[in-house]
Structure 1
Amino acid sequence: MKHSTAFITTPIYYVNAVPHIGHLYSSVIADTLKRYYALKGADAYLCTGTDEHGLKIQQAAAKNNAPPIEFCNQVSKSFKELSDAADISYTSFIRTTEPRHAKAVAALWTELEKKGYIYKGKHEGWYAVSDEAFYASNQVQEAVDEKTGEKIMVSTESGQRVEWTEEENYKFKLSAFEEPLLKWIDDNPTAIVPSNRKNEVTQWIKQGLADLSISRLRSRLDWGIPVPNDPGHTIYVWLDALTNYLTVNGYPWITTENNKGEGTQNSKITNAWPADVHVVGKDIVRFHAIYWPAFLMAAQLPLPKQILAHAHWTMGKQKMSKSRGNVADPFQVMNTYGVDPVRYYLVRDGGFADDGDYSEENIIKRYKDLAGQLGNLLNRCTAPSLNPNATIPATPKNSDARDETLRTKLAELPGIFDESFESREFGKGISAVFDMLAEANKNFQDNKPWDLVKDPSQKERLDQVIYHAIESCRVAGILLQPVLPSKMNTLLTRLGVPSEKRSLLDAYPQQEQSETPLGENREPVLFPRLKK
């Protein structure tokens, strides 16, 4: 397996409100991918963080009677706490209010201006405060405000209210990138995943791209990074926010030996650009799949290899909202069911092409899958009554036809799992693991080791049955590490699997393994009975 670098990102989360289950989903998907690449032997990096500038923040801070930075500090802290609580193994947690980020944004702006892609103009058109986005006339439609009954204009894409604005600002020549963007998408079929999102982006580009306003007058928006050499303007929040992916890589990169650049020296992430995967929600695809690649093309920087856009979580097939009272608190859910089982549920059942429908009943169902299929098999094959010597039997010298189906599934599983994760079909990869575990449990049950243990003449057969059960747990434990990192560490430690023997390559069948001792601690139940 070739040793490489993998750089995965979450979106940076907007701090106008506290974290919800969708934020947790983005982070868990990104963390699962980062751990998956590490499983394959890569130097894997993950960045996450918070987006703290813009009119929405300015307004939210005013509403809370707090200076913007104090408001940002408080809400950013809750996102960091969510990452830590969910065992998100981030390399860098970036805040757009950090000095290193302001330097990176100013450097990118200067580069775009130097290359002739920024000019001063006048914006006349629609602007959505909620989306922090400018919209063309063909991107808005008339609607009726549910609360007041008045006719309003809204974005056709997000449904958020838009207002007509006229102001002087700087513009980016987005219109120059229609053909280059289409060529990039055509040349890189997995650049935007899933395919329905790719098709949306292609349609948007083919409808025509207007030049993009990339600043606001500072008199209207002062909470943001000022335009270099023109402090009367504030840099548009999306140009600011998207640059975070470069900031954490130490941008601007200075190559002379005498001056390596402060950013590069302070970055924990090295030589990782371009991003392997930007994980984003479907509502911010336009910014990541059109604006961001265009900025990078203009600055002559490498483009991300993939933008993975997931769908949203609904509840009762309805969009989650506080007013409906159908919002899931991610902290409370993890506290109730445990961090790893919630991660497992989100990765296995979350939607990419289509929205996933969230329910605690389904979390309980998945928890019972884990306990019944994996936890139970682990307990049975390591129990002192069947395995009094606390060992993993040697690889069987003689094969038995009764184990053939399980052996085949074990041999094929790592490849199926790898292929599924590479194609971002996480549910399919996890299902394959549990298909194997179902066969392992059937094999164990059919061969009745509790009877074999009573007959000394059946020692060889008992060892074969125990071996295959433990091997099934070991392989499942290795493959499920990206999704259930803490629980699978416990499982593999209990089986005595050394930390250096837990890579994807180690999940393939072992050749001529001699008898080895189990780990010392055989007591804890991997998935204890739920209290509720």
Structure 2
Amino acid sequence: MALSRGAQTRLKDALFHITTPIFYPNAKPHLGHLYSSLLCDVSSRWRAMQGYNTLFTTGTDEHGLKIQNASEKNGYSNPKQFVDVLYREFVKLDQMANIGYTRFIRTTDEDHIRAVRELWNRCWERGYIYKGEHEGWYSISDECFYPESKVVQLQDNGQELPVGSLKIREDEKFINIETRNEVVYHSESNYFFKLSSFQTKLLEFLETENPHFIYPPSRRDQIVNELRDSKLRDLSISRPSSRIKWGIDVPQDPSQKIYVWFDALCNYLSSVGGLQAILSNSQVSVKHTFTNQLEKPRDLWANTTHVIGKDIAKFHTIYWPSFLMAAGVPLPKKVVVHGHWLSGGIKMSKSIGNVVDPLDMISHYECDPVRWYLLENSHIEADGDFREERLHATREQIVSKWGNLLNRCCSNRFSISRAVETFAGQAATPEDNAKILAGHEVQESYLELVQLVKVLPELYSVHMQQLETRAALKLLWDVIGKANVFVQVSTPWLKSGKEQDLIIFTAIEIVRLTSILAQPIIPTLSNAFLDRIGVDKDSRDLSCTHLGADLLYGKGSNDKAREVPIKKVKFRGTT
């Protein structure tokens, strides 16, 4: 991807590191995994266009009881063989969805295991880990304990009873009220982290020192309210090896395995060289979007943004900052918390039969329309609702609105190259150009379109910075829609000379500009549009996003039999 020429100079030392949560490979990836990865990919690509050195990390969380149980259930001789198969499904999804990560980390990677031990030992040496007895309600699905106040007995009729006054029997089912997953009661010896020591520090940090650490603000408010209303309890951060065999040994006690969340969260440190590298700030080799080069880990860490789903907000905004504070490590820059994806208005479930397979959708509707649909039909604060008919309609709109605008301009009745040669780079004002056009309605349509394009890059950038992808894409649709109206009312097929060329130039400029801006969203299709009109590879950056910035494109664009970048496909779902 080409960089803005101005940005290359202005931001040559600017760093941007973005992370997905690492995903649990106990089953094939689903739409939620794709959404987290897509938000990171788009943000990374956009920052790269702005001139940042970008690092984008994702991966798989491969230890813990869920993996151990799933491995046994699926007949594998050991969990490593199981995750070696499943992690490839996540890599495959990233490849099919054109997710351009720079590091795919696995918690079975040797450098990650070293980093986990570094973090544990640092917290141990500073007095924040101790051994004790633990009893309570444990969720295998969530890999964590829940207080009794958040546990209910689920009866056969659906009624939920508090557990405080109940006599617990093994044949009864209990769930936690946060994730609705099953919990079981047991006691064991564990190592504990002094989470209770960080309640005041966390509140001071989130309310005073860095109120923008959690985004959006509504998610920050939820965490702050939880810290105000509920006293933090010390956290069990190990499990007996007799119960969990698949994990990293506690350095001081091989009879215990490190808690899977302590292990998994550390991947973010592993990705930038590990805890000691951050503390010493010694240079490490990092693969950026564009090149391999030496970077100081502390600088990368200071520019790190975590993108996560709302179900794991507590782990990333309470546990993780506390671990880092305990180890004396600076906190990352930001945690972005997004909603989930529903299907037909309800939570996806195999029993209901409404689970969306992202690989299946990409195979039929192609990668970029799926990317566009997910980003247009979601909001960072709310849950999305996947409907295949809407995905199909989105693809049809890209063909009929954007693709049709391109195809109209590429008709052999016109000459894009002549129009560009006549009007690109010229000094004439929009008002002067409007006088070339016949009719007040056409002139008004032209001036409205030119004004909209003038402010488009800046407005678009504001939304992209905040991951407000729906608002950003609405801007593109607005200008594409008005460009189609302008072509329709100006009837270039009935005009000739400079009037025809001005109409074609203005319309094809909309295609060029929107395609450049859309590169982070639909990288393949937007570049296919730009290829179709002969835009040079070095002229697809943000410095070229104003009218008349490119003087050289259009040659051969109006020749017959040129391939159409996107064609219609059939809707094969049910409404």
Provide TM-score, normalisation by structure 2: 0.86
| Letter paired with 2:92 | E
Map of 2:479 onto structure 1: 436
1:367 aligned to which of 387, 395, 418? 395
CA 234–390 in structure 1, closer or farther in 2 if over 3 Å, else same: farther
SS of corresponding position for 1:45: strand
Partners in 2 of 1:362 and 1:528 — Cα distance?
17
Question: Unpaired segments of 5 or more residues in structure 1?
Answer: 454-458
| Letter paired with 1:399 | N
CA 462–381 in structure 1, closer or farther in 2 if over 3 Å, else same: same
Map of 2:541 onto structure 1: 503
Report if the CA contact (8 A) 1:32-1:482 is conserved. Answer: yes
Partners in 1 of 2:86 and 2:558 — Cα distance?
40
Pairwise CA distance, 1:495: 2.8
Aligned: 1:198 with 2:209: no
Pairwise CA distance, 1:24: 1.1
Map of 2:168 onto structure 1: none
CA 266–227 in structure 1, closer or farther in 2 if over 3 Å, else same: farther
| Letter paired with 2:463 | S
Pairwise CA distance, 1:489: 1.3
CA 500–180 in structure 1, closer or farther in 2 if over 3 Å, else same: farther
CA 146–506 in structure 1, closer or farther in 2 if over 3 Å, else same: farther
CA 505–115 in structure 1, closer or farther in 2 if over 3 Å, else same: farther
SS of corresponding position for 1:392: helix
Map of 1:95 onto structure 2: 106
CA 317–146 in structure 1, closer or farther in 2 if over 3 Å, else same: farther
Farther off after superposition, 137-146 or 335-344? 137-146
Map of 2:164 onto structure 1: none
Aligned pair count? 523
Q: Deviations over 1:160-188 (max 9, x none)?
A: 11111211111111111112212222233
CA 146–295 in structure 1, closer or farther in 2 if over 3 Å, else same: farther
Report if the CA contact (8 A) 2:339-2:383 is conserved. Answer: yes
Report if the CA contact (8 A) 1:311-1:352 is conserved. Answer: yes
Q: Deviations over 1:396-426 (max 9, x none)?
A: 5332144210111001111111111222211
Map of 1:528 onto structure 2: 567
Pairwise CA distance, 1:509: 3.7
Report if the CA contact (8 A) 2:411-2:558 is conserved. Answer: no
Q: Deviations over 1:417-445 (max 9, x none)?
A: 11112222110011011101111111111
SS of corresponding position for 1:333: helix
Q: Deviations over 1:14-69 (max 9, x none)?
A: 01111111111111111111111112111111111100000001011111110101
1:241 aligned to which of 247, 250, 264? 264
Pairwise CA distance, 1:518: 3.7
SS of corresponding position for 2:565: coil
1:34 aligned to which of 28, 39, 44? 44
RMSD over aligned Cα atoms:
2.4
Aligned: 1:175 with 2:193: no
Partners in 2 of 1:434 and 1:59 — Cα distance?
48
Pairwise CA distance, 1:524: 2.2
Report if the CA contact (8 A) 1:391-1:518 is conserved. Answer: no
Report if the CA contact (8 A) 1:40-1:505 is conserved. Answer: no
Partners in 1 of 2:111 and 2:366 — Cα distance?
36
CA 229–430 in structure 1, closer or farther in 2 if over 3 Å, else same: same
SS of corresponding position for 2:569: coil
> Where does 1:83-482 land on structure 2 (aligned, <5 Å)?
83-144=94-155, 151-186=172-207, 187-206=209-228, 207-254=230-277, 264-265=284-285, 270=295, 271=297, 272-387=300-415, 392-393=420-421, 394-395=423-424, 397=428, 398-400=432-434, 401-402=443-444, 403-453=446-496, 459-482=497-520
CA 520–444 in structure 1, closer or farther in 2 if over 3 Å, else same: closer
Question: Unpaired segments of 5 or more residues in structure 2?
Answer: 1-6, 161-170, 435-442
Provide TM-score, normalisation by structure 1: 0.93
Partners in 2 of 1:295 and 1:475 — Cα distance?
45
Partners in 1 of 2:249 and 2:563 — Cα distance?
56
SS of corresponding position for 2:211: coil
CA 189–497 in structure 1, closer or farther in 2 if over 3 Å, else same: farther
Aligned: 1:484 with 2:555: no
Q: Deviations over 1:239-280 (max 9, x none)?
A: 1001111111111444899x969xx45876844213532111
Map of 2:64 onto structure 1: 54
CA 225–520 in structure 1, closer or farther in 2 if over 3 Å, else same: farther
Partners in 1 of 2:458 and 2:59 — Cα distance?
33
2:20 aligned to which of 5, 10, 15? 10
CA 370–252 in structure 1, closer or farther in 2 if over 3 Å, else same: same
Partners in 2 of 1:6 and 1:234 — Cα distance?
33
